[in-house]
Amino acid sequence: MFDHAKLNHYLEDLIVDSREYGRVYINDKGIEFPSVTTVLSVLENKGLDEWRKRVGEEEANRVSKIATVRGEAVHKIFEDYLNNDPSYQKGHMPATVSSFLQLKPILDQRVNNIHHQEAPLYSKYLKCAGRVDCIAEFDGKLSIIDFKTSKREKEKSYISSYFMQTSAYAVMYEERTGISVSQIVILISVDDGLPQVFIEKRDDHIKNFMRVRKNFFSKYGV
């Protein structure tokens, strides 16, 4: 059973909408913030672009949609398990359960004292918003925890966007609550390999995110 922290702060829900440049979140004052993932979409991904050209837009969109649906299902099973729901596996496809079971021992041994899951966050300082997978202690240290799935193992140099994304969430959480989170954790379930754990420091990546945020503003004016 996982412990859940008793917190005295409230995180307001956000409205989700779309613009020509991507997803936005709107707070209760009507202020729009581009999502973190939308901001990071301005980063070049030559491998992805080459793959889309190779297989064609229709096939690329089909595969991307399948991956999105699977990712949402995997996030749901993690959320239910960490919420101590005994029926967390119910209704899930075998591939989803398999992805979860890869990381289950890591959750059991290294995660506890959960603050939030799927929490809406925004930052007036960073001028962006998002929904964080999990905020909890990892190895006894409060962390932003993000769950990913992959067909094969990732090189650290290829996932800088993951570190920027979670670092932005850490800044948002501190701005909204006053609670500092200096550690970010990426947990990756790998189809053709072993699960991966990346533990990083927020301050090693937040400046990179801010540079990308500036580029996004230069391109779209928001």
List, for residues 156-183, the tens digit of each pLDDT value: 999 999 999 999 999 999 999 999 999 9
Look-up of token digits 């991507």: 22
How high is the pLDDT of residue 45? 55
25 in any annotated domain? yes
5 in any annotated domain? no
User: Which of 153, 145, 154 shows the shortest CA–CA distance to 114?
Assistant: 145
129 contacts 138 by C-beta, under 8 angstroms: no
120 in any annotated domain? yes
CATH code at 22?
3.90.320
8 in any annotated domain? no
114 in any annotated domain? yes
How high is the pLDDT of residue 192? 84
118 sits in the region (left: phi over 0; alpha: psi -120 to 50; else beta) called left
List, for residues 119-131, the tens digit of each pLDDT value: 999 999 999 999 9
Domain of 22?
A: 15-220
2 in any annotated domain? no
3 in any annotated domain? no
pTM above 0.85, yes or no: yes
Task: Give the DSSP letter of residue 4.
Answer: B
60 in any annotated domain? yes
β-pair partners for 18: 23
Sheet-wide strand order for 32-34? 15-19, 22-26, 32-34
How high is the pLDDT of residue 73? 83
Task: Indicate the number of domains in the chain.
Answer: 1
Q: Which two tokens stand for residue 135?
A: 């905020």
With a cut of 50, say whether residue 51 has pLDDT above it. Answer: no
106 contacts 198 by C-beta, under 8 angstroms: no
How high is the pLDDT of residue 46? 46
List, for residues 99-151, the tens digit of each pLDDT value: 999 999 999 999 999 999 999 999 999 999 999 999 999 999 999 999 999 88
How high is the pLDDT of residue 151? 86
How high is the pLDDT of residue 95? 87
> What mean pLDDT, rounded, does the chain reach?
91
72 versus 211: the higher-pLDDT residue is 211
